[in-house]
Amino acid sequence: MFKNVVGKIGKIQVIYGPMFSGKTTELIRRIKRFNLTNQKCLLIKYSKDTRYNEIDRSLLYTHDKQNYQAFPCSVLEEAKDKALDYDVIGIDEGQFFQDIVPFSEDLANRGKTVIVAALDGTFQRKPFGTVLELVPKAESITKLTAVCMQCFKDAPFTKRIVPDETVELIGGADKYISVCRECYHAEDINLNQNQNQNNNNRNNNNSNNSNKV
Is residue 149 within 8 Å of 179, Cβ to Cβ? yes
Asked, for residue 50, whether it belongs to a domain, the answer is yes
Asked, for residue 154, whether it belongs to a domain, the answer is no
DSSP string, the chain: ---PPTT---EEEEEE--TTSSHHHHHHHHHHHHHHTT--EEEEEETT--SS-SS-TTEEE-TT--EEE-EEESSGGGGHHHHTT-SEEEESSGGG-TTHHHHHHHHHHTT-EEEEEE-SB-TTSSB-TTGGGGGGG-SEEEE--EE-TTT-SEE-EEEE-SS---S----STTTEEEE-HHHHHS-HHHHHHHHHHHHHHHHHHHHHHHHH-
Positions annotated as catalytic residues are 93
Task: Read off φ and ψ for residue 111, nearest 5 degrees.
Answer: 95, 10
Confidence grade of residue 189 (pLDDT, cut at 50, 70, 90):
very low
Asked, for residue 167, whether it belongs to a domain, the answer is no
Least trusted range by pLDDT, from 33-37, 115-119, 154-158, 183-187: 183-187
Q: Does the pLDDT at position 57 exceed 60?
A: yes
Confidence grade of residue 206 (pLDDT, cut at 50, 70, 90):
low
Asked, for residue 179, whether it belongs to a domain, the answer is no
Output 174 or 202, whichever has higher pLDDT. Answer: 174
Asked, for residue 184, whether it belongs to a domain, the answer is no
Q: Does the pLDDT at position 193 exceed 50?
A: no
Confidence grade of residue 1 (pLDDT, cut at 50, 70, 90):
low
Asked, for residue 63, whether it belongs to a domain, the answer is yes
For position 50, what pLDDT does the model report? Answer: 65
For position 16, what pLDDT does the model report? Answer: 97
Asked, for residue 180, whether it belongs to a domain, the answer is no
Q: What percent of the chain has pLDDT over 90?
A: 63
Is residue 10 within 8 Å of 131, Cβ to Cβ? no
The residue range of the domain holding 123 is: 11-144
- Structurally, the chain folds into a number of domains equal to 1
Q: Does the pLDDT at position 13 exceed 60?
A: yes
Asked, for residue 126, whether it belongs to a domain, the answer is yes
CATH of residue 126's domain is 3.40.50.300
Tell whether residue 176 is among the known ligand binding residues.
yes
